[in-house]
């Protein structure tokens, strides 16, 4: 698996990957788009979103709000909390975040088995081509890091015939925003109980510009795929029948979690 899909394409036709680049699209809208492309199309996609507003807390599908989010400060400051359709951890994203998502058919990458660890390994190799010249890049557990400091968090969803791997990259971050997040009980071993500011780093300290990064991603994809840029408006289907599972938690949801974690409704919201 170690070399799945990253070599030997020169003598074979490269599969098509449609590329959508956006800037400042709200993360809830982005996740709805990604889920629809995953479930309702048969194409391979790369979605790049350069920053998002407003600042938003995003949780994995199985995360428990009370264990991961400081709910009272989030309510006080009206910070939205979104539960996405994929797994993974909890992040707070804003204009300093760059998002890159791959949505692929299971047979799109030769030799790649559609399992979480295999997809992570493949993505780590691809991003290694982007980052190796800028710093000591590592795939550490499920994170991307320069040395021992994280700058990219990943999440995945795998369906019968397709998978999505999406990453939030910390081009920059506001230290104050990290105060809305609790340190998770199941943190990666390499975190070593470090607080958020000691554990994280900013990509802008390593890479000249955001465009250098995103151009590098597109170039790395071009080694395996035939990359076709698409206009966002051409991608939006307007399918009113599609109902995304990514949800914005309401103020009432959050208040009920605070008031009583034992109530049936709260258990449903937190599950």
CA distances from 235 to 23, 101, 105, 242, 250 (A): 15, 15, 18, 14, 28
Sorting pLDDT into bands at 50, 70 and 90, what band is 260? Answer: low
Q: What is the mean pLDDT of the chain?
A: 92
Cα–Cα dist 14/19, whole Å: 15
Domain ranges in the chain? 16-270
- Rounded mean pLDDT of 162-177? 98
| Residue 271 confidence (pLDDT) | 52
Other CB atoms within a 10 A radius of the CB of residue 195 amount to: 10
Indicate whether 8 pLDDT > 50: no
> In this prediction, what percent of the chain has a pLDDT beyond 90?
82
Q: Which residues pair with 102 in a beta bridge?
A: 46, 165
| Residue 235 confidence (pLDDT) | 84
Cα–Cα dist 236/262, whole Å: 40
Token readout for 226 is: 């035939």
Alpha helices of the chain — where are they, by DSSP H? 27-40, 65-68, 71-76, 116-131, 196-199, 210-222, 232-235, 251-259, 264-270
CA atoms within 13 A on the CB side of 128: 12
Token readout for 195 is: 């607080």
Indicate whether 236 pLDDT > 70: yes
* Three-state DSSP class for residue 119: helix
Indicate whether 245 pLDDT > 80: yes
Are the C-beta atoms of residues 68 and 182 closer than 8 Å to each other?
yes
Pick 77 or 1 by higher pLDDT: 77
| Residue 1 confidence (pLDDT) | 40
Most confident of 4-13, 177-186, 218-227: 218-227
* Three-state DSSP class for residue 78: coil
Least confident of 95-99, 232-236, 263-267: 263-267
Instruction: Identify which of 179, 244, 215, 224 has the alpha carbon closest to the alpha carbon of residue 31.
Output: 244
| Residue 142 confidence (pLDDT) | 93
* Three-state DSSP class for residue 233: helix
Cα–Cα dist 77/74, whole Å: 5
**What is the CATH code for 16-270?**
3.30.930.10
CA torsion 60-263-77-184 (nearest 10°) is: -40
Indicate whether 136 pLDDT > 50: yes
Sorting pLDDT into bands at 50, 70 and 90, what band is 266? Answer: very low
| Residue 193 confidence (pLDDT) | 86
| Residue 187 confidence (pLDDT) | 85
> In this prediction, what percent of the chain has a pLDDT beyond 70?
90
Q: Residue 20: which residues within 8 A CB-CB, separation 6 or more?
A: 45, 46, 47, 48, 229, 230, 231, 232, 235
Indicate whether 253 pLDDT > 70: yes
- Rounded mean pLDDT of 143-162? 97
Are the C-beta atoms of residues 19 and 218 closer than 8 Å to each other?
yes
Q: Which residues pair with 152 in a beta bridge?
A: 144, 169
What are all long-range contacts of 261-267, with beta carbons under 8 Å and residues at least 24 apart? 261/66
Write out pLDDT tens, residues 182-222. 988 888 899 998 888 899 999 999 999 999 999 999 999 99
- Rounded mean pLDDT of 55-60? 98
Are the C-beta atoms of residues 157 and 85 closer than 8 Å to each other?
yes
Least confident of 95-109, 110-124, 197-211, 239-253: 239-253
């Amino acid at each position: 698996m170690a070399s799945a899909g990253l070599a030997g394409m020169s003598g074979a036709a490269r599969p098509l990957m449609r590329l959508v680049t956006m800037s400042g699209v709200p993360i809830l809208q982005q996740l709805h788009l990604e889920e629809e492309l995953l479930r309702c199309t048969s194409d391979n996609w790369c979605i790049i979103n350069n920053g998002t507003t407003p600042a938003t807390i995003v949780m994995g599908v199985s995360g428990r709000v009370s264990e991961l989010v400081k709910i009272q400060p989030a309510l006080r400051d009206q910070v939205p909390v979104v539960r996405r359709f994929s797994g993974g951890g909890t992040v707070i994203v804003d204009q300093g975040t760059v998002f890159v998502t791959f949505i692929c058919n299971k047979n799109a990458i030769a030799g790649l088995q559609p399992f979480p660890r295999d997809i992570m390994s493949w993505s780590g190799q691809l991003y290694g081509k982007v980052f190796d010249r800028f710093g000591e890049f590592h795939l550490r557990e499920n994170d991307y890091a320069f040395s021992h400091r994280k700058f990219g968090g990943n999440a995945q969803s795998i369906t019968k015939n397709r998978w999505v791997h999406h990453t939030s990259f910390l081009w920059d971050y506001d230290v104050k925003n990290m105060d809305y997040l609790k340190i998770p009980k199941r943190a990666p071993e390499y975190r070593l109980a470090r607080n958020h500011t000691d554990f994280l780093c900013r990509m802008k300290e390593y890479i000249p510009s955001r465009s250098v990064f995103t151009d590098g991603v597109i170039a790395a994809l071009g080694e395996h795929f035939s990359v076709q840029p698409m206009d966002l408006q051409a991608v939006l289907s307007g399918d009113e029948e599609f109902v995304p599972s990514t949800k914005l938690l309401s103020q009432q949801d959050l208040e009920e979690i605070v008031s009583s974690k034992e109530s049936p409704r709260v258990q449903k919201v937190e599950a």
